[in-house]
Amino acid sequence: MSLLASATILGEHAAPTIPQNLHGFLNPHDGVAISFWIISMSMIAATVFFLWESLSIMQSWKTSMNVGSLVTLIAAVHYLYMREYWVIIHQSPIVYRYIDWSLTVPLQMIEFYLILSAVKPDLGSGMFVRLLVGTVTMILFGYLGESGAINAWMGFAIGMAGWGFILSEIFFGEAGTCAAKINEVGPYVSSAFSSMRFIVTVGWSIYPLGYFFGYLLGSVDDDVLNLVYNLADFVNKIAFCLAIWNAAKQETMAKARAGKGLAEPLCSA
């Protein structure tokens, strides 16, 4: 066999060369881009799951479950755009992230009000307003600081104050006080509230840490920062809604076992 023929045969079985510029397609060596894709698909799957499951839970939980599906749906759409932005430009999709957060985070704050008001119809709207004010403050000034519209340290400080205001409400304010009364709200609402509060406290701490170390100090590069943000969103959005689903499912099953399942329609619109 000639050397030319041997080289041709070897060439056919050689590993394919991956072009550097894939024109918007995923590079198998870009773990951050792959994480964007995985999270977007996970958000879509979670949306379908939550919508479907809302058909088999008690009426009092349906609104909360459907709002949770909105959270994951909005996040899924934005993650599709953020993936493209990262793959093509390879920069942090700051604007897309903050648009996502400006829609999904207020919806998550609404969830605290919804699960409590479902069992306490006399609950005032003050709790909802305070949580909304804290949320808007946190996100608005975080974006203004990170986009350079105002002093970065000032934006960080005021944004942290907004987060602190949210924590004070869900721990020590009307929301926290109400959720602590298990005899009034029930063990399932109390359990969901505690899990959601844990995520807002521990899970959300990743975002100001990313702002501080990644943007203010510049000690974390964009690859690491976006990978951490992606994983944080996966937990803080999907797990947040799963806590509601779990409590809703547990209460629905408990009442069904106790022979009270017909007290509330399980499959009404």
Amino acid at position 229, single letter = Y
pLDDT at 262: 46
Residue 20 reports pLDDT greater than 60: no
Band (18; pLDDT cuts 50, 70, 90): low
Band (167; pLDDT cuts 50, 70, 90): very high
Band (17; pLDDT cuts 50, 70, 90): low
pLDDT, tens digit, 9 for 90 and up, residues 108-166: 999 999 998 888 877 777 888 999 999 999 999 999 998 889 999 999 999 999 999 99
State how far the Cα of 248 lies from the Cα of 211, in Å rounded to an integer: 35
CB neighbours of 220 closer than 8 A, spacing ≥ 6?
A: 210, 213, 214
Cα of first residue to Cα of last residue in the chain, in angstroms, is 75
pLDDT at 22: 57
CB atoms within 10 A of CB 112: 25
Q: Can you give the pTM of this predicted structure?
A: 0.84
Q: Which of 120, 96, 112, 84 is nearest to 192 (CA)?
A: 112
Domains within the chain, CATH numbers bracketed: 32-258 (1.20.1070.10)
More confident residue, 121 or 168: 168
Which range has the worst mean pLDDT, 52-56, 73-77, 144-148, 179-183? Answer: 179-183
Band (246; pLDDT cuts 50, 70, 90): very high
For the segment 168-197, the average pLDDT, to the nearest whole number, is: 88
For the segment 31-58, the average pLDDT, to the nearest whole number, is: 94
Residue 201 reports pLDDT greater than 50: yes
Work out the burial of residue 51: count CB atoms within 10 Å of its CB; fewer than 13 is exposed, 13-18 middle, 19 or more buried: middle
For the segment 209-238, the average pLDDT, to the nearest whole number, is: 88
Q: How far is CA 73 from CA 62, 96, 100, 198, 259, in A?
A: 16, 14, 10, 23, 35
Work out the burial of residue 91: count CB atoms within 10 Å of its CB; fewer than 13 is exposed, 13-18 middle, 19 or more buried: exposed
